[in-house]
Structure 1
């Protein structure tokens, strides 16, 4: 556990938008990467960073779709990135490093939920492979650029779904237990939070701080594989034109992107890291059996579990020693 996991009372909240969380900061001269930055909350994250003057590099599987979505934005570059493909990740990172630019902000925003294929070509659970391992590899490959900044922040999107339980490191690919897509997704998001804990521990001496973000309940493209019955369980239904109609408590994309932006730029977080954030603040720790749809459960910020997951991830990806990254 980390003693830093305490709310700061930032004066922001669930209704805060990404533009409001930016608080008028000028990001000219800064370089940011947003994976999946052309859709949903990623698109809003890109828009706000771009408008603030940052150069934003968007990693996208579908280059044409991304370029179409981002064509009106200034200072935005699009590079192919498939987080389920290790070669694509390495090529993306190589392209960034070739430019010799410092990387100030890395927002690991992309992800999958309830994909039609539950295992990738390597036999890895698709949720775990894409949501965690892909971003783990990407961050490792970009280490040199993050260090070059001298004051960089890595933001990885987690989810309230981490409340479903701790990650089972002995059965990451569901070979010993029946596959459950909700548990699979929840464990991948626990992994995202644990990644921030260990990354911060290893990176802070190099000026790299890491944060996990729960964006809140938002209807984005991640819901495309859910049935009407599954949506109804969340109080969501489809309208006559197939648009989603949601109850109170769901956020807009502008609100959903707010905590990512806050973690990327807020001076309140100077000297801090390795924490799980929500609603533009550091989240409170809540009991394991809490039914609240807010707060962080202790297993998602457990330092021992975070170190174990890091070691497992290195082994699975066959990542060699990176100066300052491996112990």
Structure 2
């Protein structure tokens, strides 16, 4: 089944908070992994899930920083993980699988934005490597635990930035074309959306559904690589009410991870606590999802390339 990329009219909106999405619903006994779950939108995602009774595992590249941010939260477990290092992903996944626990929610929240050109140990451009390939690798390694849940959801944070670029399959890592940090970011966010589409097609028979999410415009640590001029331009071009706080920014992730409204659905890009509208490539507004981020053929092509790049496939 292919879920239509059109709004459900969920009854929520851009200003809805994560706690409002959950309401009185309890998640006791559920287990979640939230990458980057110790800062910004990720931290609020962790807080909301834990407050509703879920156990939340937060894998962090900087455990000391994460420990301070998560202090006092119940049912939160801290782990080490560097999404840019395949060996670190394998080690984290091995530890998790050894616990024998099912994984009900995987929120691929961590990411970087508009960084200078950096390559990982494999020579891969860092934004595509971290935002997409790291989470592709992690999800594949955790697949047995997702299957064990007998009903799981995988939520990957994309962005409205996907509108900047599709996937350049001829030169995805900027080995020949000039590096543009915003094109690289847009490519990685399109990859997040296509990953959810391809993952959902594979997961539906196993009762594993996947979604991609634009959390909204939020001033978090993601902007640390932006210049003062870029930040000023963004603030000047946007109305004051354009920005969300982190509680509002986490709402769509929480909705995709937990809401009964999405039962039996998957493989769609969501924003504003609803399924986003499909829009044409030249759509003048920033909302909606562009054609290249919901193309099943591109999703399958990216999946095949991602397997080759990482050497990782879904395991039983």
Q: State if a TM-score over 0.5 links the two structures.
A: yes
Task: Please indicate the TM-score interval, normalised by the length of the shorter structure.
Answer: over 0.9
Matches within 5 A, 1:293-308: 293-308=286-301
Please state how far the C-alpha of 1:24 moved relative to its aligned partner.
Answer: 1.8
CA distance in 2, matches of 1:246, 1:236: 8
- 294, 311, 315: which one pairs with 1:318? 311
Please tell me whether residue 276 in structure 1 is matched to residue 269 in structure 2: yes
CA distance in 2, matches of 1:226, 1:46: 26
Matches within 5 A, 1:16-165: 16-165=16-165
What residue is the counterpart of 1:240 in the other structure? none
**TM-score, scaled to structure 1:** 0.94
Instruction: Flag the 1:320–1:285 CA change in 2: closer, same or farther, 3 A.
Output: closer
> Is the CA contact (8 Å cut-off) linking 1:195 and 1:310 kept in structure 2?
yes
Unmatched tracts of structure 2, length 5 or more: none
Q: Secondary structure at the match of 1:248?
A: helix
Q: Secondary structure at the match of 2:107?
A: strand
Q: What is the count of residue pairs matched by the alignment?
A: 316
> Is the CA contact (8 Å cut-off) linking 2:117 and 2:179 kept in structure 1?
no
CA distance in 2, matches of 1:142, 1:39: 23
Instruction: Flag the 1:236–1:28 CA change in 2: closer, same or farther, 3 A.
Output: farther
Unmatched tracts of structure 1, length 5 or more: 238-244
Q: Secondary structure at the match of 2:219?
A: coil
What residue is the counterpart of 1:187 in the other structure? 187
Q: Secondary structure at the match of 1:102?
A: coil
Q: Secondary structure at the match of 1:28?
A: coil
Instruction: Flag the 1:4–1:320 CA change in 2: closer, same or farther, 3 A.
Output: closer
What residue is the counterpart of 2:253 in the other structure? 260
Instruction: Flag the 1:265–1:229 CA change in 2: closer, same or farther, 3 A.
Output: same
CA distance in 2, matches of 1:185, 1:157: 13
CA distance in 1, matches of 2:201, 2:88: 27
CA distance in 2, matches of 1:250, 1:169: 33
CA distance in 2, matches of 1:322, 1:43: 29
Please state how far the C-alpha of 1:247 moved relative to its aligned partner.
Answer: 2.6
What residue is the counterpart of 2:229 in the other structure? 229
Q: Secondary structure at the match of 2:242?
A: coil
CA distance in 1, matches of 2:314, 2:204: 18
Q: Secondary structure at the match of 1:179?
A: coil
> Is the CA contact (8 Å cut-off) linking 1:236 and 1:247 kept in structure 2?
no
Instruction: Flag the 1:3–1:203 CA change in 2: closer, same or farther, 3 A.
Output: closer
Please state how far the C-alpha of 1:236 moved relative to its aligned partner.
Answer: 5.8
> Is the CA contact (8 Å cut-off) linking 1:210 and 1:274 kept in structure 2?
yes
Please state how far the C-alpha of 1:320 moved relative to its aligned partner.
Answer: 4.8
Instruction: Flag the 1:307–1:72 CA change in 2: closer, same or farther, 3 A.
Output: same
**TM-score, scaled to structure 2:** 0.97
Q: Secondary structure at the match of 1:218?
A: coil
What residue is the counterpart of 1:217 in the other structure? 217
Provide Cα deviations, 1:147-166, integer angstroms capped at 9, x if missing partner: 00010000000000001121
> Is the CA contact (8 Å cut-off) linking 1:38 and 1:46 kept in structure 2?
yes
CA distance in 1, matches of 2:122, 2:142: 23
Q: Secondary structure at the match of 1:233?
A: helix
RMSD (CA atoms): 1.6
Instruction: Flag the 1:246–1:290 CA change in 2: closer, same or farther, 3 A.
Output: closer
> Is the CA contact (8 Å cut-off) linking 2:143 and 2:314 kept in structure 1?
no
Instruction: Flag the 1:319–1:44 CA change in 2: closer, same or farther, 3 A.
Output: same
Moved over 3 A (4+): none
